[in-house]
Amino acid sequence: MVHDNRFRALVIDDDSSFRSFFLRACPKVGWVALAVESPDRGLAAVLSFEPHIVFLDLTFPDMDGLSVLSEMAPRAGDTAVALISGCDPEVLRSAHRIGERLGVRMLPPLPKPVTVEDILGRLTAFRADSNTITPAAIAEAMSDEALCLVYQPKVSLRSGEYMGVEALVRWPVNDGVISPGQFVPVVERDEGLSLRLLTYVLDRAAREAAVWKTNGVRCAVNMSALCLADHTLPDMLCRTLKKNGVSPRDFVLELTETAALQDPDRVERVLTALRLRGFSVSLDDFGTGHSSLLHLQRMPFNEIKIDRTFVATLLENPRSEQIVRLMINLGQTLEAKTVAEGIEAPEEAQALSDMACDYGQGYHFARPLDPAGLTRWREEWAWKQPNSREEPPS
């Protein structure tokens, strides 16, 4: 085992010129590098070299990169993987998603040809994140109530009426804000920390309910499936809300479908208990994970969130349009509300409204807002809209 405190990078690639290029680049930013030419040697090096990052090619003579990811998943631990390949970009993105579903910590892929700047930028950014973001630091930030919430409004795509918010956690520091993309993945690898963050965000949103709450609207809170390992979760969340004088019926718990793959029997039991106590449960990022239809068949979701990747290409990609239309029709058949996220243009909002999507959120309506900003936005938005009322998910 390695005991060197320096950051370590491993490349698994059968291209000798790229391996040489990699070995020359890494020391420029103080990283120790190892380059191997075969999947077998690479898998052995994950254990012996203990790399912080693995750069993995997708094509080998006798084994493809997906098989390597599958073999690596049980032994990877906190090791991050960045895929490198000259294959079709959609294939590269698909392989990246497969790695995520296997539970590997995936970094954004790098299409070949890869430049020195690509490698050095990835290593520098990783080290900067790793130097500051630890589970202990996140736990301390919650103890100090250093994490705050911003709220992104949801509106009815039919009437334009304000229908609620999604609560998003932020971590302000002296020189700016630590991105959720930096600390949320750390949280989601730790069951105890995931549960603590969920209760922290729910408690904070409940205390700030006067900012977002009005008759019938709901606040959505993201929930890691790791939280569902605790069968006492429904009672725990209800106690958190009761002390703040709000009801589970005021909240939507958004669960990513990729996370829900683990232990579906347990997930179904806990989600059903949450529904019985009044929470709405949303299937987040629908269409981007595995066995979506099976989840909808088994799990008591009463809201479906259409992922922003489909919304972003809705107007120019006929396949995206057809997929979104199918999702909306499916939601109607299952009597689940549909929410499109990432709406950035009025044309997108109109197209989704024409398809009978229920709610929308995105920069077209409002960026995530602090409590004071949300109060102002609600006043301005209400002034612009006709008076109407739509029922939230039941």
Q: Does the residue 319 lie in any domain?
A: yes
Same domain, 161 and 49: no
Is 53:123 a contact under the CB 8 Å cutoff?
Answer: yes
DSSP states of 81-98: EEEEESS-HHHHHHHHHH
Same domain, 262 and 202: yes
How many CB atoms sit inside 10 A of residue 346's CB?
10
What does DSSP assign to residue 37? S
Same domain, 242 and 273: yes
Same domain, 206 and 328: yes
Is 359:343 a contact under the CB 8 Å cutoff?
Answer: no
Higher per-residue pLDDT: 391 or 81 = 81
DSSP states of 156-182: ETTT--EEEEEEEEEEEETTEEE-HHH
> pLDDT digit string (tens) for 61-116?
888 888 888 888 877 777 889 999 888 888 888 888 888 878 788 898 998 888 88
| Residues comprising the chain, all counted | 394
Contacts of 102 (CB under 8 A, 6+ apart): 69, 70, 73
Show the tokens assigned to 97. Answer: 């998603």
Same domain, 147 and 208: yes
Same domain, 313 and 262: yes
Rounded Cα gap, residues 119 and 112, in angstroms: 11
Helices (H), 243-287: 264-276
Show the tokens assigned to 306. Answer: 């259409």
Picking from 107, 132, 157, the residue at the C-terminal end of a domain is 132
The pLDDT value given to residue 2: 45
Q: Does the residue 2 lie in any domain?
A: no
End-to-end CA distance of the chain: 54
Report the percentage of the chain scoring pLDDT > 70. 92
Same domain, 16 and 108: yes
Q: Does the residue 148 lie in any domain?
A: yes
Same domain, 227 and 108: no
Instruction: Give the CATH number for residue 360.
Output: 3.20.20.450
Rounded Cα gap, residues 289 and 304, in angstroms: 13
Q: Does the residue 110 lie in any domain?
A: yes
The pLDDT value given to residue 71: 87
> pLDDT digit string (tens) for 278-318?
999 998 877 665 446 777 788 899 999 998 878 888 998 89
Same domain, 378 and 284: yes
Picking from 78, 107, 132, the residue at the C-terminal end of a domain is 132
The pLDDT value given to residue 220: 97
Report the percentage of the chain scoring pLDDT > 90. 51
Q: Does the residue 145 lie in any domain?
A: yes
Q: Does the residue 200 lie in any domain?
A: yes
Q: Does the residue 3 lie in any domain?
A: no
The pLDDT value given to residue 131: 58
Picking from 117, 132, 147, the residue at the C-terminal end of a domain is 132
Q: How many domains does the chain have?
A: 2
Q: Does the residue 315 lie in any domain?
A: yes
Q: Which domain holds residue 237?
A: 135-384
Position 303, amino acid:
E
Rounded Cα gap, residues 72 and 297, in angstroms: 31
Write b or e for each residue in 247-269: b if 16 or more Cβ atoms lie within 10 A of its Cβ, otherwise e.
ebebbbbbbbbbbbbeeeeebbe
Same domain, 99 and 248: no
Instruction: Give the CATH number for residue 127.
Output: 3.40.50.2300
Dmax over Cα atoms in the chain, in whole Å? Answer: 67
Residues 182-195 have a mean pLDDT of 84
* pTM of structure: 0.70
Same domain, 155 and 121: no
Same domain, 156 and 126: no
> pLDDT digit string (tens) for 204-241?
999 999 999 988 899 999 998 889 989 999 999 999 99
